[in-house]
Amino acid sequence: MSAKKNADVHLTSEEAEQVENIQQQYPTIATRLHESKDQAQVGAALAEIFALSEAAQLALVKSLAKTNRADGADILVAINAVSPNKEVRKEARRGLLRLESSKVTPHWSAPVAQTAAVQLNVSNPPRFWKGLATRSREQGEMQVTLCWEMGYEYGEARMLSFLLDFWNDGVKDFMAETGTKRHIDEHIKSLHKMATEVELVPCSSGEAKRLIEEALDINAWRGTQPHSDYRAQQSLVNKMLLQTAEANGDSGQTFIAPDMEPQEVAANFIGAWSFGDYGLAYDLLTSNSPVRDNLTRDEWIEQHRTWFDEAHPTRMELSFIHEREQPQSAIWLPGAATGQRGSTNKQLEIGWSLELLETPLSGTIKEMPMGTAVNKETGRHWFWNTYTLTREGNAWRIQQIKDEGVALQGVTIDQLQQRIKAYEEVIDQALKQQDRDPETFMEEMSWRLGQMLHFHDALIAQLPLDYNATEDAYSCSVLTGNPERMMVYLERMAQRFPNNKADTLRRLGATLAELAFRFDRPEFRDRHQHLLQRAEENLRESVVVDNSATSHSLLGELLISLDRNEDAREEFMKSLELLSKEKPEPALEASIEAGLGNVAMRQQQPEEAIPHFRRVADLQPQYPGVWFSLGFANRLLDRLDEAESYYQKSLAENQTDIRIYSELTAIYMQRSDSNKAQMLLEGALRQYPETAYLHALLASVLAEKGDRRQAQRHLEEAERIDPESDFIPAVRQQIASMRKRV
């Protein structure tokens, strides 16, 4: 009957009717069981069931397992206890397990007889069968799956699966399932198929217990709740794993991917250290690393969590990772392999930054680096460390961490200036190379500029009253394009050096505004608004210090970006008035006129905007976007010929602006000149064949012409290039609606 339990039960019509009749009265049978005093009375209560054929009994038991009622569970307990048929008893046991997984448990237990009339089989207690875990601890998340075998002849199994998050969520997800061992094995095979990017490895019950307890510790520390399904089944997990002495076999393996490159190990250490995953950070150190500070793993974690709770580190950013060349030995030894030294040790120079609060506890952290620059507005600190990595247990681990920021304090002014000059010469030389590899070039520029900024920081520390030292640092930071770092030097110049104050305030205001818009997200609303407020304060102060056209113009640019159009117009008009009293400045005047034109367009006054944009074009024909702005303003006024002419000029200036093709296409289609629109877009696609928007736009034109086949082809190409495009669904709907009209 081994195959019978997994097969569908086939009943005759008479048997089916008998099963249905008994099923309808199962509450009555349950009542009789509740009133029974001994096994004889239990047998009498079940007599009608035992009178059925084996197939009918199996069908009835399966049906009772689907009731999700305690009465049904009680009858299954009785059948499991006294049925003379082994297969029926086993099916009753499976039914109880299914009900248990649905949180339905029996309310009745069979009475114990002194001398059993029938010898009963006893269900085996659960015993650990096998476990699997993803070797992905370096990602801060792991899947752990554990299985216990149980039941008669250990033919059943229970599986507990945990998704563990070691950054914040602890026990992030949980699932419990029972069934035949074959069913559980199939489930595990499906896990293997899904885990294509991570390796699944055996996990003992002891290792699983350690990992789950560590995740629960994360829940306790972070103040988060384990997953609701876990909480509902917590007593089961405690019974099966956490509170049993049978959990054993912990080899201490970390479940970290062993094939990580040195750069990955160092980057993961910094990430774990910054995000609070100190268990991972500790495990990425060599066993004898001085960074462990002679502390046990638990002590090291506790020390760092205490610091974390006060410092609140967040928003870690990597600036550069550069492998330092290993010095070659001056002594040649017979048999020494070239590069052997480099294969067992690596030194990585890493520039990184982190937002954190100052706390005395930073002094208790052995590897805590010194920030060479600090943005007091955001709390971001910039660090430079050298990580020495070595092979341990066939994997790269961190042996030592050197704080280069501290080391720079011992470098003389002359030496710092020489290093800066040497780096500048290398950068200038690299810029002159015509055949440079873009990726290699960007990588080198990243680490050289990053290290140069740390040189500048060290120089400023030794020359705090030297304006040029801070100005040079600011100029270097501009090359990195990082407004948060640029702010550091501008704030210093504004506070310490009154010379060129107006220019410094203008640059600081513009930089604050740029940084503010990088924080234009709901979670940073307060910071966004505060930075914008500070930007306006600095620009208004620049107006007081220097009541010039430039000062008013920059303030106007900020105000227009804040949709304060009337205030912006007022500043641009003041700027224009002041400009007439100064020497001609075509670039500045063009910027002011463009601002006035943009204000008019925002206020839906295209007629007013056109003279301003024309003045911009007269002053600077190559002013970015001026021809498009003239075209757009004229199209809004339905002056299609003028709009087309301006758009053509804009296209001659910039053939990559998608808006121009869209606007010209709209004009041609409005004139019912679909052929011209098609020619425009086909010509554009010959130059830019991988532009999804152009394909979709051409599909729309072709659909209007009735060429649905070609329209569909271009639409499919657009979707291939950019499946997330918002424009594609609109074109698809257009094509579909045209089919309906046909």
pLDDT tens figures, 51-95: 888 888 888 888 888 888 888 888 888 888 888 777 888 888 888
Q: Are 125 and 184 in contact (CB under 8 A)?
A: no
Task: Decide yes or no: CATH 3.30.70.580 for domain 655-742.
Answer: no
Both tokens of residue 710? 């070609």
pLDDT for the residue numbered 146? 95
Per-domain boundaries in the chain: 4-101, 124-242, 262-325+343-410, 655-742
In this predicted model, what pLDDT tens digit does every residue of 558-615 receive, in sequence order? 999 999 999 999 999 999 999 876 678 899 999 999 999 999 999 999 999 999 999 9
Of 108-117, 386-395, 610-619, 637-646, the one with minimum mean pLDDT is: 108-117
Question: What confidence category does residue 112 fall into, taking pLDDT thresholds of 50, 70 and 90?
Answer: low
pLDDT at 120 over 50: no
pLDDT for the residue numbered 688? 93
Burial state string for 280-293 with b = 16 or more CB within 10 A and e = fewer than 16: bbbbbbbeebebbe
Question: How far apart are alpha carbons 615 and 3 in whole angstroms?
Answer: 89
pLDDT for the residue numbered 115? 42
pLDDT for the residue numbered 14? 82
Question: How far apart are alpha carbons 703 and 678 in whole angstroms?
Answer: 11
Of 211-215, 510-514, 734-738, the one with minimum mean pLDDT is: 734-738
pLDDT at 324 over 80: yes
Identify the helix (H) or strand (E) that includes residue 32. helix 26-35
Per DSSP, the three-state class of 318 is strand
What proportion of the chain, given as a percentage, has pLDDT over 90? 67
Average pLDDT (470-498) is: 96
One DSSP character per residue, 343-379 reads HHEEEEEEEEEEE----GGGGG-TTPPPPSEEETTTT
Both tokens of residue 445? 């520029």
Both tokens of residue 396? 């790269």
pLDDT at 175 over 50: yes
pLDDT at 333 over 60: no
Question: What confidence category does residue 741 fall into, taking pLDDT thresholds of 50, 70 and 90?
Answer: low
Q: Are 474 and 486 in contact (CB under 8 A)?
A: yes
User: CATH top-level class for 262-325+343-410?
Assistant: alpha beta
In this predicted model, what pLDDT tens digit does every residue of 405-456 receive, in sequence order? 999 999 999 999 999 999 999 999 988 887 778 888 899 999 999 999 999 9
Provide the whole-model pTM.
Answer: 0.77
User: Which residues are CB-contacts of 685 (< 8 A; sequence separation ≥ 6)?
Assistant: 691, 694, 695, 698
In this predicted model, what pLDDT tens digit does every residue of 370-387 receive, in sequence order? 999 999 999 999 999 999
Question: What confidence category does residue 122 fall into, taking pLDDT thresholds of 50, 70 and 90?
Answer: low
Angle at CA of residue 256, ends 252 and 261, nearest 5°: 135
Question: How far apart are alpha carbons 585 and 583 in whole angstroms?
Answer: 6
Question: What confidence category does residue 218 fall into, taking pLDDT thresholds of 50, 70 and 90?
Answer: very high
| 702: β partners | none
Identify the helix (H) or strand (E) that includes residue 127. strand 124-134
The torsion angle over the Cα atoms of residues 702, 704, 709 and 711, rounded to 10 degrees, is 50
Question: How far apart are alpha carbons 533 and 325 in whole angstroms?
Answer: 47
Task: Report the chain's mean pLDDT, rounded to a whole number.
Answer: 89
Q: With the C-alpha atoms ordered 302, 308, 314, 316, is the resulting torsion angle positive or negative?
A: negative
pLDDT for the residue numbered 505? 98
What proportion of the chain, given as a percentage, has pLDDT over 70? 93
In this predicted model, what pLDDT tens digit does every residue of 714-736 receive, in sequence order? 999 999 999 988 888 988 888 87
Average pLDDT (34-59) is: 84
pLDDT for the residue numbered 7? 41
Q: Are 104 and 226 in contact (CB under 8 A)?
A: no
Residue 631: Cβ within 10 Å count: 28
